[in-house]
Structure 1
Amino acid sequence: MNHMPLYWQFVKIKLKAMADYRSSFLIITFSKTLMWAVEVFVLWILIDRFKTIAGWSSYEVLLLFGLNLSSYALAGFFFYHPFVYLPRRIQSGEFDEMLTKPMNPFLYLLSREFSTGYFSNLGVAVIVMGLAFAKLDLGLDWIDLLFLIAVILGGAMIQAAAFVFAAVPAFWITQSSSLSRLMWDFKGFIRYPLSAYNSFIQVLLTLILPFAFINFYPAQYFLGKDDFLLFHPSFQYAAPLVGLLLFLLAYRFWRFGLKHYRSTGS
């Protein structure tokens, strides 16, 4: 906690650089916004073609998309660059230099690599969620709004933990990108309702790789659905707790990996 003021100074530097090169930032933001808009359009066309997916309407599936993308954006700001590129830094020896700093390596890595490239993701997610709530006529009182914020933060911690879990094996397996791709391939399943899949996928995405807590189970609360499949209805409230526990577990995994790290000697 003593280093948090320093961390925010690093973030301010990144934001200042964004302001200094605003033309580049605006072009990148526009292109990414267009990319996500196209993805939303393709998803809409797919659902409209089949009318419903496992009993979920178009706007209900868009709510799943918005919850997923908003939490991914929050995690991406802080965790994408530090951990997606960690194997490359280990191979080059750059990570060894980070270990010489008088600061927690985890926090130092996050400080150096804050990304400003996720404002487009967050903007599209907010628009999609707002559209879904409006079209489904889902009024939010202040308790619902607080729970929505908690759900998004919980989902962000789940996604951040996934970044960490996917990167840490690089401490032992220099080429660990295949493990990372496999994890994120499974995350692609949550674009659609979990009820569209068989029991194996439902258990996998709930208990092994708990990505379903990012959007599927919380959506039950807002939509008033009773679509809990193999699991208890209380799971609709569990996203913040699952996110916190998973993030703490990911950090312990990081500490374990760091303790047993051996430099590549590059």
Structure 2
Amino acid sequence: MTFKLFGKLVYLLTKERMEYRGDFLLAVIAQIINYTGDYIIIWLFLRKFDTLAGWTWPEIALLYSLGLFTYALGASFSFVQMRELESQVKNGTFDSILIKPVNPYLYLVCRGFNLGYLAHVAISGSVLLWALFKLNLSLSWVEVVYLILCIIGGAMIQAGFMSVIGAVSFVWVKTNFLFTLFFKFKEFVSYPLPVFGTFIQVLLTFVIPFAFINFYPAAFLLTKETALLSSWTMWIVPIVGPLCYFLGYRIWMSSVNRYQGAGG
């Protein structure tokens, strides 16, 4: 799989989606309205209590936007692709991917690249920029690079975990219920981690490292105290994403090598 081939696949997908421009635009608008509602709910909640675990509305808007923005980037290459593996394995249609002369994982994630996440990027990116402006953060070039690396890392954490769920399809077949668990856990990082008890904080830091998606990057940029990690460990945060994605990829490739077909 080369960048040229990837670009060709994305071009064909874009051309395919643009055949139904009205449907695509309505879907984008619907997603923007949906997530705008989420922001309004959080804003109304903060209007009542002023702060949440010491975090103000613009700070939580930054936190939530980082989570949504990184999800959009990661899920565009993994969510639909891994979710559909269950039916592909069950019906035997996944076999057609294996006969292609390309890496099956890369072909799957590139061929299923989802343009629909443009809505997520638009709303979360806009609020993210607003929050940075509202908080009057004067980021140095080092902090800007750090933020970019954390965004990439957050996307890779989520794509990595969804890849693991997809890998389980080759063993259990029925795995879509795991996506429900994934989103349930991800809901925790929509809010500051100190809101939750010690068990949840440890779980989301050292077992299921979703706190590295947005909480720790935001806490570092906002100079917030973190109970479980010292300030110097913030520089380790961008490394967690590539590590999670690499492990997810290796697990997926190992599982597909054991795949024996629909009648397996």
Tell me, in whole angstroms, the C-alpha distance in 2 between the residues paired with 1:20 and 1:183: 33
Tell me, in whole angstroms, the C-alpha distance in 2 between the residues paired with 1:140 and 1:19: 38
Report how far residue 225 of structure 1 moved.
1.4
Aligned to 2:125: 126
After TM superposition, list the pairs within 5 Å mapping 1:119-198 onto structure 2: 119-198=118-197
Aligned length: 264
Tell me, in whole angstroms, the C-alpha distance in 2 between the residues paired with 1:234 and 1:11: 40
SS of corresponding position for 2:77: helix
Contact kept in structure 1, 2:81 and 2:108, CA below 8 Å:
yes
Aligned to 1:17: 16
Tell me, in whole angstroms, the C-alpha distance in 1 between the residues paired with 2:231 and 2:79: 32
Contact kept in structure 2, 1:221 and 1:237, CA below 8 Å:
no
Which residue identity is paired with 1:137? N
Report how far residue 238 of structure 1 moved.
2.5
Tell me, in whole angstroms, the C-alpha distance in 2 between the residues paired with 1:130 and 1:114: 25
SS of corresponding position for 1:175: coil
Please report the RMSD computed on the Cα atoms of aligned residues, expressed in angstroms: 1.5
Aligned to 1:65: 64
Which residue identity is paired with 1:41? I
Report how far residue 23 of structure 1 moved.
2.2
Q: 2:238 aligned with 1:240, yes or no?
A: yes
For structure 1, the 5+ residue unaligned runs are none
Aligned to 2:260: 262
Report how far residue 145 of structure 1 moved.
2.0
After TM superposition, list the pairs within 5 Å mapping 1:29-48 onto structure 2: 29-48=28-47
What's the TM-score, normalizing by structure 1?
0.94
SS of corresponding position for 1:153: helix
Report how far residue 45 of structure 1 moved.
1.1
Task: Give CA-to-partner distance per residue, 1:29-63, whole Å, 9 cap, x none.
Answer: 11111111111111111222222111111111111
Residues 246 and 186 of structure 1, relative CA distance in 2, 3 Å threshold:
same
Tell me, in whole angstroms, the C-alpha distance in 2 between the residues paired with 1:236 and 1:48: 30
Task: Give CA-to-partner distance per residue, 1:225-252, whole Å, 9 cap, x none.
Answer: 12x1122223322332100111111111
Q: 2:63 aligned with 1:86, yes or no?
A: no
SS of corresponding position for 1:206: helix
- Please point out which of 239, 247, 250 is paired with 1:252: 250
Report how far residue 180 of structure 1 moved.
2.7
What's the TM-score, normalizing by structure 2?
0.95
Report how far residue 258 of structure 1 moved.
1.0
Tell me, in whole angstroms, the C-alpha distance in 2 between the residues paired with 1:235 and 1:56: 21
Which residue identity is paired with 2:192? P
Aligned to 1:215: 214
Tell me, in whole angstroms, the C-alpha distance in 2 between the residues paired with 1:32 and 1:63: 19
Tell me, in whole angstroms, the C-alpha distance in 2 between the residues paired with 1:188 and 1:237: 24
SS of corresponding position for 1:16: helix
Contact kept in structure 2, 1:218 and 1:237, CA below 8 Å:
no
Q: 2:115 aligned with 1:116, yes or no?
A: yes
